[in-house]
């Protein structure tokens, strides 16, 4: 597996200054305690549930100590970390707070009521943080290798998060989002990745950019299609290639089929029309990466 270095990401760096939630604090500053539901930082974090606020700020929310720790360990830029006052002495929380402060993030201790408000649910996580979004440009992926999954117009954030997690699990190279897709930084998508969002490069492109990039690097593109003429198990999968998946509703449009070197089908026996997108991607990836995984 080859993944591009982290400095290929640009989107976060290009963003304008983050909103109020982004105010840096000195690394040695004690955590501020917040109980007011109308605190502006609380409002800004809560607003990150909305796509337009994520787009305007370039930030997104990661909920839970595991996700926050994964992101910090992978070096994702952090702006704000909040945790429940009652977990402040837990060793992993102390570690996350120290890492966040060392990077100039604002750290707040909050009441459970404030966490309910930020997370918009009754049983919130005890640790939540706002990180800077990172999306690669295809043009920056200069010498792509490994297996890339390209998703045309994926709409369901749960599917996208599950696919990112699967790409991570099989050691594939990354995910390319083509066309009008759901936001990988939507909370439901982030949750479904179970932390893999922080380990897997994600790029976004138009069909034209994708087509030019695969041609320039001579990357074979295999589409998956219900009308595919080839059984996916009969292909001698190369170490480097792109597996192109269609969207949940209508599958791959003709313009996408046209950029494929071949179309494969996963055989089905029952009365279902098709497999779920995330399931089909997992079935494909375990075959394409079979030799590398030793299975
Ligand atoms: C839910 S399916 C789309 C079904 C859509 N009604 C169609 O006609 O393609 C979403 C995507 O999963 C992949 N997929 C699902 N089942 C598949 C199968 N049996 N063989 C190949 N690809 C499949 C394809 O990429 C498809 O575009």
Q: pLDDT tens across 180-227, in order?
A: 999 999 999 999 999 999 999 999 999 999 999 999 999 999 999 999
Task: For the chain, list residues with pLDDT below 70.
Answer: 1-31
- Counting from 1 in the atom list of ligand 1, the atom nearest the Cα of 250 is 5
What is this structure's pTM? 0.90
Distance 136 CA to ligand 1 centre (A): 26
Q: Considering only CA atoms, which of 227, 218, 139, 216 is closest in space to residue 176?
A: 139
CATH superfamily for domain 7-132: Ribosomal protein L30/S12 (3.30.1330.30)
Please tell me the predicted confidence (pLDDT) of residue 29: 58
Task: Please provide the DSSP assignment of 16-65 as one string.
Answer: PPP-GGG----TTPPPEEE--TT-HHHHHHHHTTSHHHHHHH-EEEEESH
- Counting from 1 in the atom list of ligand 1, the atom nearest the Cα of 245 is 25
Please tell me the predicted confidence (pLDDT) of residue 12: 34
Protein fold of 136-293: Alpha/beta knot (3.40.1280)
What are the sequence ranges of the domains in the chain? 7-132, 136-293
| Contact in structure between 102 and 27 (CB atoms under 8 Å) | yes
Please tell me the predicted confidence (pLDDT) of residue 30: 62
Please tell me the predicted confidence (pLDDT) of residue 19: 40
Any atom of ligand 1 within 6 Å of the Cβ of 268? yes
> Do 7-132 and 136-293 agree at the fold level?
no
Please tell me the predicted confidence (pLDDT) of residue 88: 95
Any atom of ligand 1 within 6 Å of the Cβ of 223? no
Distance 265 CA to ligand 1 centre (A): 8
Q: Considering only CA atoms, which of 171, 169, 162, 157 is closest in space to residue 60?
A: 157
What separation in angstroms does the CA of 85 have from each of 23, 142, 200, 241?
21, 46, 32, 48
Please tell me the predicted confidence (pLDDT) of residue 28: 55
Any atom of ligand 1 within 6 Å of the Cβ of 245? yes
């Amino acid at each position: 597996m080859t993944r591009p270095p982290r400095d290929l990401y640009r989107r976060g760096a290009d963003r304008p200054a983050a909103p109020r939630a982004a105010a840096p604090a000195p690394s040695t500053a004690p955590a501020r305690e917040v109980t007011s539901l109308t605190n502006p930082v609380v409002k800004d974090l809560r607003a990150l549930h909305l796509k337009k606020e994520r787009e305007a700020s370039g930030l997104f929310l990661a909920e839970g100590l595991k996700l926050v720790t994964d992101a910090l360990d992978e070096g994702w830029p952090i702006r704000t970390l909040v945790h429940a006052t009652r977990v402040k002495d837990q060793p992993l929380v102390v570690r996350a707070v120290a890492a966040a402060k060392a990077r100039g993030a604002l750290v707040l201790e909050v009441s459970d009521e404030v966490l309910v408000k930020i997370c918009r649910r009754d049983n919130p996580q005890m640790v939540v943080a706002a990180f800077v979004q990172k999306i690669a440009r295809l043009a920056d992926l200069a010498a792509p290798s490994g297996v890339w999954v390209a998703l045309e117009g994926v709409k369901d954030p749960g599917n996208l998060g599950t696919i990112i997690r699967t790409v991570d699990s099989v050691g594939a190279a990354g995910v390319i989002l083509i066309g009008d897709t759901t936001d990988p930084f939507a909370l439901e998508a982030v949750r479904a990745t179970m932390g893999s969002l922080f380990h897997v490069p994600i790029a976004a492109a138009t069909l034209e950019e994708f087509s030019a990039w695969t041609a320039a690097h001579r990357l074979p593109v295999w589409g998956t299609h219900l009308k595919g003429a080839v059984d996916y198990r009969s292909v001698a999968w190369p170490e480097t290639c792109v597996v192109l998946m269609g969207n949940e509703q209508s599958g791959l449009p003709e313009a996408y089929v046209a950029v494929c070197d071949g179309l494969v089908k996963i055989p089905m026996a029952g009365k279902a029309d098709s497999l779920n997108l995330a399931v089909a991607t997992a079935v494909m990836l375990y075959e394409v990466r079979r030799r590398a995984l030793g299975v």
